[in-house]
Structure 1
Amino acid sequence: MEFYVPLADTPEDSETLYQELAALYKGTPAQFDERVRLIRWSHNGEEHVAEVGKGIKATKPLSARDAARVLAIYQGDPWVIVREPGRSKWNDSVLAGPRTVKEAQFFDQRASDL
């Protein structure tokens, strides 16, 4: 799958928005071939999956607040998962500690068990 950011109309807009979201939410932008499309992590004994363009899924049903689409995922300490602003009563970003992340998939289709 090619890299994209939901809400962007063109590849150039995706790049600009990716950089702007990183600055706004204190994420670390990755090189083009290392951009994360999906991560799987655990929190309080529950497994979560965040995929760009989709809502966050978990082993237990989540409230409507988690229906906000994921716009970008930034690898780091912590990982930063940015969701659509204004679609949640909670923060627009979710943090995942590096030790909690079990898997990452990148836009170039390679997968990595962490």
Structure 2
Amino acid sequence: MRNALSHYGSRLGVLVGAALLSTLLLVAAPQAHAASDTAFYRAELVSPVEMRLAVVRNAMFLCDGTSCMGSKANSRANIVCASFVREFGVAASFTADGKALDAEALAKCNARAG
């Protein structure tokens, strides 16, 4: 009898684990998609980076490869860009609220890269 209960217990554990994982994926996937649609900052890096999150001037940035997106900060785009490139590297483009930095502003921003 004891073996029968432990056998069913392990199967039940696997079933519960699979159900929890499925629920997590159903909840997390739409939120990740919504976050990408509402990003205030977007940047393309010259050199790819491993996927990581970083706080830059009170904005949360997520970069994966050469693509980055970030939440809104309370600083001007030029200042956020300068801090961003110190953290992630040279940017090929940097956009704030749909407005890209012009070539001169982007060059000044990239001059701050470490």
TM-score (norm 2): 0.29
Structure with the greater relative contact order (CA < 8 A, sep ≥ 6): 1 or 2?
Answer: 1
TM-score (norm 1): 0.29
Larger Rg computed on CA atoms: 2
Higher helix proportion, which one? 2
